[in-house]
Amino acid sequence: MTGLRLAALGLVLAVALAGCAASGGNAKPSADKDAAHANVQLGVAYMQQGQLSLAKEKLERAEKQAPRSVEVHTALAYLNERLDRVQKADEEYQLALRLSPGNSDVANNYAVYLCRNGKVDKALQYFELAARDRLYATPWAALANAGVCLRSAKRSADAVKYLEQATTQRPNYSPAVFELADLQLELGAPGVAGQVVDRYLALGVSAPDVLLVGVRAALARDDRSAANSYARRLRRDYAESPQAKTLPQLLGDRS
């Protein structure tokens, strides 16, 4: 899996972790639960900064305060994955699922973990569990993650199906739009990739990675006018973005 695609999965995981509410039958006083939640937030923040020792300290303290908190065990699972303690991470995810059966945030996070560790078919089961949950706030993110996971396993045809479902459910979800357009370009269908980009832009939204894949798709089908149009918009709206800074090399003097 490329760094960019892995970052897309990681972003969804981090958002779900930060927003996951403590649950799972914790009988301790409310003050302990609140303290555990605060320590989880600190632990996640430390993980995001790469300070794993401090993250471990905060999360272990949170576990003592709320040993049956789904939020705590989900965060501990992610920490153990970061520490390359794969078996312990798996145990923490499964404990979180036992504490809160059917929790789609946990199911999506566990699926991300499984995919990162090469267990693609098992990951799909949990992505689909989350995507089918009518109470889940972001089913399209689970579908997009499934598509990214399948791309990493070189299962492009299956990846297209999941990414198309994600963009159908949420047409303005730029990570899925980018992945779908980029995959179509990789499959030798730059015209289809351009259509994916144009449908998204027609909604009145934009994102630098989507505009850049639009440039690449237009160049691949030798449509210099469209490539320049995407490039102008990318430079205008996201002048300081890494994507805009790749344009001179990509376009040369053609823009």
Mean pLDDT for all residues in the chain: 89
Burial class (CB in 10 A: 0-12, 13-18, 19+), 52: middle
Contact assessment for residue 126 and residue 133, using Cβ atoms and an 8 Å cutoff = no
Q: Is the pLDDT of residue 210 over 80?
A: yes
Backbone angles phi, psi at 199, to 5 degrees: -60, -40
Q: What is the pLDDT of residue 23?
A: 44
Predicted model pTM? 0.85
pLDDT tens digits, one per residue of 25-82:
444 567 888 999 999 999 999 999 999 999 999 999 999 999 999 999 999 999 999 9
- For residue 231 the two structure tokens come to 């490039």
Q: What is the pLDDT of residue 252?
A: 83
Residue 160's pLDDT band (boundaries 50, 70, 90)? Answer: very high
Give the integer Cα–Cα distance in Å for 207 and 245.
14
User: How does 94-105 read in b/e, with b if 16+ C-beta sit within 10 Å?
Assistant: ebbbebbeebbb
Percent of the chain with pLDDT over 90: 85
Q: What is the pLDDT of residue 12?
A: 43
> Within 13 Å and on the Cβ side, how many CA atoms surround 7?
4
Q: What is the pLDDT of residue 28?
A: 52
- Domains of the chain by range and CATH? 1-155 (1.25.40.10), 171-255 (1.25.40.10)
